[in-house]
Structures are given as C-alpha cells and as structure tokens.
C-alpha cells in the first residue's frame, strides 16, 4: 500500500481495498484515510504496520510465543519451536501453551482460553484420584483448551456433490480474495456446485479408510454432510428451530463458512477434551464429567449441538472464532493427521490391547486403578473411551454419526456408529471445534 490520499474519497479507497483483499478482510478504514485493518492487522496507508492492531504498548503478535496471548487474529501468526518451524493461526483472545510437549504443531499445539487479568501457572501438576501421577497439569483443569489440526489441502476434506460422477473429479480452490471456495474442475469456476464434506468410509460397513479417494454424494443415503436426517430433523417435536438446512444460519451455510476458513488458514481447532458442563457452561477442560445426551440442558443430539454452537458467544469470542459441534469431515481430517501414531492405531478394531482407555467418565482421566494413561493422541484426550462423540455427519434418513469409544466399550478413535438424534443415552457426548474468522 502506498500513500496516495490526494482527493480520493473514503468510499473509493475502501471499495478498492475490498476488491483487492476481500470485503470481509477489510475493516475500520479511518476517516482521514490514515489507517486500515486487513485480516485483523492494522496498517498505515504508507504500508507500515501499526503494532499488529495492538495499540496498548504490548509486543507485536508477529512475535507470538509460548505463554503469550494473541491480541489479533492473523494467518500463521505463530511459528512453533520445532526444527521444522511449522506455523498455525492463533485466534485473538487465546494463549499459546507454555508446557513442553504442547508448543509444536506435530505434537499437538495447544491453546488456552485464559481470561484477561489472570496469570497462568504452567508448572503445577494436578492431583487427585482421577489422574495418573504427573500426567495432568493443574492449568488443564481450569481453562478451555483446543488443539490445532492442520489441513494442508482443502481437497482432502471437502468435495462437491458431483465428485466421481460422470468423470468429474473435484478441485476445490480458495478465491484470490480468500473469501470463498468453489470447485474449479475442468478449468471452469463451478460456483453452482454444492460443496460437502469428504468422508473416509467404506460404503459396505462405515469403516474409516485413510486412503479412500472415490467418495460420492447420494441424497438421503449413506454418510454425508451437511444434510438433514429427515426422519427427525423435519419434526418440530425434536428439531424445534435448532437447525435449518438452508439460509444464512443453516447448516449448509455454516459448513461452507467452516470449510472456507480451513482453506484460508490451513486448519482448525478441536476441543482437547470432550465437552462438559460446569455450572451450566460448556467447557473443554480436564477433570469434569462429559456432557451427555441424557442431561436436561444438553438433551439429545439437538441439545449437544446447541450447547456447542453457543460456546463462542457465551465466552464473547465471536470476533475471532465460531464454535460448533465437530463435523464428520473435520473428524476424518483429524484421523488422517493422527494416522500412523505408534501408541494408538486410529483404524484398529478393537484397539491395541495395551491402550489404557478412559473408563471413568471424567475428561482426561485414566482407566480406573491405572497409574498411566495413553488415551491421548496429539494432545487430544478420550478418543477411545469416555463418551461416544456425536458429530454433524448424517447417516441415511434417521441417524447422526458418533465416533470413537466410550467408558464401557473401547473402540478405535475412527470407529463410526449411527444413532437417531433423539436418543438420550448417557454414553453419547460430543467434541467441539472452532474455526477461525
């Protein structure tokens, strides 16, 4: 950007900036045309950054480091401490972990939602019967935590509904303004192609397949998202305004917003623990009983969905992230990232015999009577035990798909099982995800 104010009208400059960077990226153009925010970072019109949007004298987010809170949201604003120097996008309001083993993308980069004015203690270990000795830090029982799931190519997570039909192979691309994605197969920008999740499964038995490449969409059949399960979602007795299919707030629109964010920022954030209820607030932290479909305030799939969707607004972080029940395509992206781990084979059924899964119903806890825990992959806990994790994935006309194992039945993390969304079983919980705005 160069200084060229002259007689340029504010509306003219603002229009030019939005054309160049995207209408959602450009904010707060000053009346005197001296500064503007682009993708959350503040610039002066002569091209010099103005403190990364941080006007209170703190360090610039370009130097975001372990233990520091992000004051603005900008793509790749964190470089990890590993030799490979991998990057991630830390949303404004979140603090990068300062605990060894939680600082790097390949290990499972962890962020904490720590209220302003509170000083975190990164060293004290948690105690109590729920945790194996020296496995959990006290801070993990106090603040919501999320783990970065990198997605290097959006085509590994999203496709269009014509994929593998009549010779059509999708090519999903982010536009130059980084505001939308579309299928550009065969050299044409096919903006009218509806986008959907790419789900890794065997059509004969719903089993996860890491190398599956021939996914297709079939209306009201098989596994798919985003979609209604008509047997229940069309009934006001169950879906009393909780979800809609179309419209600005419909699940199709929400899926597209999430997928666009993943394409733009190269990943998303997943709850480190299954969601729990603490004083009627949805939390993602260790040491709490998993929220489940039998509770009055999170009853059925619809109650869990609502609780998780409201997490961002309940915590006043809607300026930097949106929250939702994890999508099936996000879950499979997480499995693809975790595949090959030496401790837990995400595809094994049943899991390896030496997996010590969580049977306690307490998030992040160990198996009763054990002094170790390995129900953890890339710093994400309780994938083989605790609760089955309901997702937004639809199955046929009457099921929502859950993943992983529960406290009474240990399954591999990728395991799928369908259940009607009106079920109130105590074994059904869910895991929350965030996408960056």
Average pLDDT value for residue range 207-220:
84
Q: Structure pTM?
A: 0.84
Least confident of 71-85, 218-232, 259-273, 285-299: 285-299
Q: From CA 361, how far away is CA 291, in angstroms rounded? A: 10
Residue 46: exposed, middle, or buried by beta-carbon count in 10 A (0-12, 13-18, 19+)? exposed
The set of residues, in sequence order, having a beta carbon less than 8 Å from that of 205 and lying 6+ positions away, is none
Average pLDDT value for residue range 11-16:
74
Using DSSP's 3-state secondary structure scheme, residue 428 falls into strand
Class of domain 274-436: alpha beta
Q: From CA 355, how far away is CA 341, in angstroms rounded? A: 12
pLDDT for 405 equals 87
Name the more confident of 64 and 46. Answer: 64
Q: From CA 403, how far away is CA 431, in angstroms rounded? A: 10
pLDDT for 30 equals 76
- State pLDDT tens for residues 307-320: 999 999 999 999 99
pLDDT for 208 equals 85
pLDDT for 19 equals 63
**What does 219-234 look like in DSSP terms, one character per residue?**
TTSSEESS---HHHHT
Question: Three-state SS string across 172-208, please?
Answer: EEECCCCCCEEECHHHCCECCCCEEECCCECCCCCCE
Indicate the DSSP class of residue 155.
Answer: G
Residue 184: pLDDT over 60: yes
Average pLDDT value for residue range 19-24:
66
Residue 146: pLDDT over 60: yes
Strands (E), 307-431: 321-325, 376-377, 380-381, 388-395, 399-403, 416-419, 428-430
Residue in the block written with tokens 């309780």: 382
Least confident of 141-155, 357-371, 419-433: 357-371
pLDDT for 48 equals 33
- State pLDDT tens for residues 47-96: 433 333 333 333 444 579 999 999 999 999 999 999 999 999 999 999 99
pLDDT for 61 equals 45
pLDDT for 421 equals 96
Residue in the block written with tokens 């390949």: 106
pLDDT for 412 equals 84
91 to each of 5, 177, 221, 317, 322, how far by Cα in Å?
32, 20, 37, 9, 10
Q: Which residues of 401-419 are buried (b: 16+ CB within 10 A; e: fewer)?
A: bbbbbbbebbbbbbbbbbb
| Stretch (H or E) spanning 18 | helix 10-21
- State pLDDT tens for residues 331-340: 999 999 998 6
For the chain, the structural domain boundaries read 10-53, 274-436
Q: From CA 415, how far away is CA 412, in angstroms rounded? A: 5
Helices (H), 247-365: 251-265, 300-309, 311-314, 328-338
Q: From CA 276, how far away is CA 144, in angstroms rounded? A: 10
Q: Which residues of 231-258 are buried (b: 16+ CB within 10 A; e: fewer)?
A: bbbeeeebbeeebbeeeeeebbebbbbb
Average pLDDT value for residue range 362-386:
75
Judge whether 422 and 405 are in contact, CB under 8 Å: no
400 to each of 53, 226, 227, 332, how far by Cα in Å?
42, 11, 10, 15
Distance of CA 223 to the CA centre of its chain: 20
pLDDT for 5 equals 41
Rounded to 10 deg, the angle between the 251-265 and 328-338 helix axes is 30
Say what percent of the chain tops pLDDT 70: 82
| Stretch (H or E) spanning 10 | helix 10-21
- State pLDDT tens for residues 101-122: 999 999 999 999 999 999 999 9
Residue in the block written with tokens 């969580």: 358
Pairing, β 158-160 against β 172-174: unpaired
Residue in the block written with tokens 């639809």: 394
Q: How far apart are the first and last CA of the chain?
A: 23
**What does 237-275 look like in DSSP terms, one character per residue?**
TT-SSS--SSSTTSHHHHHHHHHHHHHHHSEEEEESS--
Name the more confident of 240 and 34. Answer: 240
The two tokens of residue 33 are 């045309």
């Amino acid at each position: 950007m160069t200084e060229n104010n002259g007689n340029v009208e504010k509306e003219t400059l603002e229009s030019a900036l939005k054309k160049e960077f995207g209408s959602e990226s450009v904010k707060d153009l000053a009346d005197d045309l001296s500064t503007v925010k682009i993708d959350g970072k503040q610039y002066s019109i002569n091209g010099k950054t103005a403190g990364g949007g941080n006007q209170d004298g703190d360090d610039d987010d370009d130097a975001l480091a372990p233990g520091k809170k992000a004051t603005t949201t900008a793509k790749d604003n964190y470089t990890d401490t590993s030799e490979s120097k991998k990057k991630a996008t830390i949303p404004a309001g979140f603090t990068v972990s300062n605990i060894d083993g939680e600082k790097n993308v390949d290990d499972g980069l962890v962020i904490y939602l720590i209220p302003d004015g509170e000083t975190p203690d990164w060293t004290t270990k948690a105690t109590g019967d729920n945790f194996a000795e020296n496995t959990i830090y006290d801070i993990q029982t106090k603040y919501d935590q999320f783990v970065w799931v990198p997605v290097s190519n959006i085509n590994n997570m999203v496709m269009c509904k014509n994929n593998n039909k009549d010779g059509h192979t999708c090519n999903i691309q982010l536009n130059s303004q980084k505001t939308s994605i579309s299928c550009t197969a065969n050299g044409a920008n096919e903006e009218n192609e509806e986008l959907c999740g790419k789900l890794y499964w065997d059509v004969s038995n719903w089993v996860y397949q890491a190398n599956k490449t021939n996914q297709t969409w079939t209306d009201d059949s098989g596994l798919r998202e985003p979609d209604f399960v008509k047997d229940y979602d069309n009934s006001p007795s169950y879906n009393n305004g909780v979800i809609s299919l179309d419209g600005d707030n419909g699940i199709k629109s929400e899926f597209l917003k999430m997928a666009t964010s993943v394409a733009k920022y190269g990943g998303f954030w997943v709850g480190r623990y299954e969601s729990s209820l603490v004083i009627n607030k949805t939390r993602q932290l260790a040491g709490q009983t998993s929220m489940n479909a039998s509770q009055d305030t999170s009853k059925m799939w619809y109650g869990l969905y609502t609780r998780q969707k409201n997490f961002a607004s309940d915590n006043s972080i809607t300026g930097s992230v949106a929250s939702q029940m994890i999508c099936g395509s996000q879950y499979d992206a997480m499995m693809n990232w975790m595949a090959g781990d030496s401790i837990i084979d995400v595809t094994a059924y049943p899991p390896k015999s030496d997996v010590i899964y969580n049977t306690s119903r307490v998030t992040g806890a160990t198996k009763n009577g054990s002094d170790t825990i390995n129900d953890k992959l890339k710093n994400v806990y309780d994938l083989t035990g605790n609760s089955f994790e309901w997702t937004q994935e639809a199955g046929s006309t009457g099921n929502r798909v859950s993943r992983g194992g529960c406290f009474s039945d240990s399954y591999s993390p990728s395991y799928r099982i369908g259940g009607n969304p009106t079920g109130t079983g105590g074994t059904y919980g869910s895991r929350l995800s965030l996408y960056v705005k």
